[in-house]
Chains A and B, each alone.
Chain A
Amino acid sequence: MNAPLAAERSTAAGRSVDGREAVLTARDVSIDYEVSPVVHAVRDVSLTLHRGEILGLAGESGCGKTTLAYGINQLLRPPAALRSGSIVFHDQDGTDVDLRSLEGDALRTFRWDKISMVFQGAMNSLNPVITIRAQLFDVFTTHRPGMSKKQKEERSQELLRKVGVDPNRLDSYAHQLSGGMRQRVMIAMALALNPQVMIMDEPTTALDVVVQRGILREIMRLREEFNFAVVFITHDLPLLLEISDRIAIMLQGEIVELDTAANIFEDAQHPYTRRLLSSFPSLTGDRGSFIRTGEEA
């Protein structure tokens, strides 16, 4: 159990950051993998996500960040299971939803409408045998049964335009799109129902840096326009320092530090955070000082 986290420094036990309300509250979430011996992938994690905020979730591979994301969305597959904790979604209409109690139809209706997700490696996240259009329409057919075909078509085209993809691509299949385009389509799909929270799991890791930059700019722009909160999961800490409001550092299933990006960059508290920061070669500074001498920058 962590000491009271130096975490959440700018927030009291309260609900607002820069005057923003909380949209998602997770308390003492623990997730185990039921194999032998049991693996405690996420241990007593607590965090609060605020409306319109970008929360970065950083850590090395296997630290549990993806597991946590899946857990929040109730997407855990056996042998993973949520052991304990509470996850509460604060809808903008004022109601609170206990995510763990959602099941069956209630869960399905909730999904994508309030919280959507962009997965790691969109390479395989799209169904290879139906068109992009069909996959976008799926979302509408399920969640907005009142929409006419024409409305679905218009909305789909609008969504593609927003992410910078030619609307003609609606007729395409996944294998006909480049990696960057597929990722943009995934983002478009995630936006379809104007969710209040978007969880993004390494959305740009498999792409080259130039494409990555383009996509990140789209995300920032869309966030400005729609004001959804983002949980951005990645191992790329420098990236998070650029785009996030706050950053949570995870290590072996626990959050060891949670603070604003600025504070983490200038004055990281936890030794692991500091080590992480210094592990990334810098574009500036003395050449070779990092690698040859092994000294920290």
Chain B
Amino acid sequence: MADDIREQQLAAQASGGALSPVEIIDETPVSLTDGPVVKVGALRRFGQLLRRSPKLTIGLVVIVAIVLFTVIVPFFTESPTALDNASLLRPGEDGHLLGTTQLGADVLSQLAHGGRSSLLIGLTAGLITLVLSVIFGVIGGYLGGWVDETLFLISSVMLVIPGLPLMIVISSYIPGRSIWLIAVILGVTSWAGSALVLRSQARSLRTRDYVAASRVAGERPTRIILVEIMPNLLPLFAGQFLFAVVAAILGEAGLSYLGLGPTGGVTWGTMLNEAQTGAALTRGAWWWFIPPGLLIAFLGGALSLVNFSIDEIINPKLRAGSIAAKNTRDAKKRKKKVDQ
């Protein structure tokens, strides 16, 4: 039966406005059973996309820059845990571009190595979140019936249970935590919102004509889900995945800051933890605690920008409003020039 209106609104909100309640994103079905997709021009189309959307370009540039930073710089610096007793808590100088921590570790090195860990955790957790939300959302949403009701109930309960407190409780029971464990904890506690969004969309797709046609033709549910429904959800997947990665990176930062992050590892979050315990604030060691947070903010911001540009691409109403208004303003300007 139809979702009650509140559930639809919830899904609309959780998707960041990408889904309008009671509405569908894209009218044209994309199905793998259609003829071969024309690959020519995909690169060119991507280039067009970039030109049309400055948000997308900026976002991608920042992301690539940060990723390159974490991949390349570690080859040029010493180990992040190497302590230089000669130089404690000093701002940028020879040998230590970004200065040192209270114990003499090189901040730049920690930033780069820590970035790797933070990124890995973020990506892994994001992936886990996506997989779980697909299972709980798409499968339930498509199948309906008691399967859907059960999965939906589980998702709703997981949604309301406060995430960070739960993560804290889980982490506190496990003394030795690897970055993979942290990623798992993050992923396992954060999938509920995405699941609801995907479920809402899967439910609406289920009633579409081409899906009904496949059912009547006798295709098995697995095949319908894989071939008809999933491809149409791809843009939504992308958006939810990016959102999950941002949340995971922020989540890991928070956990590590509280001392519940990967034991013995270096991440941007642990850097902030050590900075606080090392009284970086009161001692004015801005080079220690500002860069990690800045990088988290930039990475998160860039991912969000990319996310929004995807939103605008798949939700024509968002784009149409701004572009239409702009076009009319431009036309008026042109007319004014002609009249003068």
B169 at the interface (CB under 8 A from A): no
Q: A34: CB under 8 A from chain B?
A: yes
Instruction: Mark each residue of chain B from 318 to 340: 1 if its CB lies under 8 Å from any CB of chain A, else 0.
Output: 00000011011111100000000
Smallest CB separation, A37 vs chain B (Å): 12
Residues of B within 8 A of A35 (CB): 327
Q: How many whole Å from A81's CB to the nearest CB in chain B?
A: 6
List A contacts of B329 (CB < 8 A): 78
Measured between beta carbons, the chain B residues less than 8 angstroms from A81 are: 328, 331-332
In the complex, what distance in Å separates the CA atom of A35 from the CA atom of B324? 8
In A66-111, the 8 Å CB interface with B consists of 77-79, 81
Q: Which residue of B lies closest to A35 (CB)?
A: B327
Using Cβ atoms and an 8 Å threshold, which residues of chain A touch B332? 81
Q: B324 — which chain A residues lie within 8 A by C-beta?
A: 34, 77-79
Nearest opposing residue in chain A for B320, CB measure: A79
Q: Chain A contacts of B327 at CB under 8 A?
A: 34-35, 78-79
A78 to B322, CA, bound (A): 9
Residue total for A at the interface (Cβ-Cβ under 8 A): 6
How far apart sit A78 and B319, CA to CA, in the bound complex (Å)? Answer: 12
Q: Closest residue to B330 on the A side, CB-wise?
A: A34
List residues of chain A with CB within 8 A of the CB of B328: 34, 78-79, 81
Chain B residues numbered 289-340 whose CB sits less than 8 Å from any CB in chain A:
324-325, 327-332
Q: Which size class do B's interface residues fall under? A: under 10
Q: State the main secondary structure of chain B at its contact with A.
A: helix
| B323 closest partner in A (C-beta) | A79
Q: How far apart are the CA atoms of A79 and B325 in the complex, in Å?
A: 6
Closest to B321 in A: A78
A236 CA / B328 CA spacing, docked (Å) = 33
Of the listed residues B328, B329, B330, the one surrounded by the most CB atoms of chain A closer than 10 A to its CB is B328
Residues on the A chain within 8 Å of B330, using CB: 34
Q: Report B-chain residues with C-beta under 8 Å of the C-beta of A77.
A: 324
For chain A residues 28-85, which have a beta carbon within 8 Å of chain B?
34-35, 77-79, 81
Chain B residue numbers with a CB within 8 Å of A78 are 324-325, 327-329
Q: Output the least CB separation between B7 and chain A (Å).
A: 16
Report the Cα distance A132→B207, complex, angstroms: 31
Cα(A79)–Cα(B331), bound, Å: 9
A105 and B140 alpha carbons, distance in the complex (Å): 52
Q: Which of A34, A35, A78: most chain B Cβ within 10 A? A: A78
B325 contacts across to A, CB distance below 8 A: 78
Closest to B334 in A: A34
Complex CA distance for A34 and B331, rounded to whole angstroms: 7
Q: How far is the CA of A78 from the CA of B329 in the complex (A)?
A: 9
Nearest neighbor of B325 in chain A, beta-carbon distance: A78
User: Which residues of B260-305 are within 8 A (CB) of A?
Assistant: none
Rounded to whole Å, the gap between the CB of B229 and the closest CB of chain A is 27
Kindly state the separation between the CA atoms of A34 and B325 in the bound complex, as whole angstroms. 10
Interchain CA distance A81-B332 in the complex, whole Å = 9
Interface residues of A in 202-253 (CB under 8 A from B): none
**What is the bound-complex CA distance between A79 and B329, given in angstroms?**
9
Q: How far is the CB of B218 from chain A (nearest CB, A)?
A: 33
**How near does chain A come to B164, taking the closest CB pair, in angstroms?**
34
CB distance from B60 to the nearest CB of A (A): 26
Closest approach, in angstroms, between the C-beta of A36 and any C-beta of chain B?
8
Q: What is the minimal beta-carbon distance from B24 to any residue of chain A, in angstroms?
A: 15
B338 to chain A, nearest CB (A): 12
A81 to B331, CA, bound (A): 9
For B58-75 the 0/1 string (1 means CB < 8 A from A) is 000000000000000000
**A137 shortest CB reach to chain B, Å:** 24
Smallest Cβ distance from A123 to chain B, in angstroms?
A: 11
19 A-B pairs in the complex with CB atoms less than 8 angstroms apart: A34-B324, A34-B327, A34-B328, A34-B330, A34-B331, A35-B327, A77-B324, A78-B324, A78-B325, A78-B327, A78-B328, A78-B329, A79-B324, A79-B327, A79-B328, A79-B331, A81-B328, A81-B331, A81-B332
9 pairs of A and B residues whose beta carbons are closest in the complex: A78-B328, A78-B324, A34-B331, A79-B324, A34-B327, A78-B325, A79-B327, A34-B328, A79-B328
Residues of B within 8 A of A (CB): 324-325, 327-332
Q: Which residues of A contact B (CB under 8 A)?
A: 34-35, 77-79, 81
List 5 additional contacts besides A79-B324, A81-B328; criterion CB under 8 Å.
Answer: A34-B324, A34-B330, A35-B327, A78-B328, A81-B332
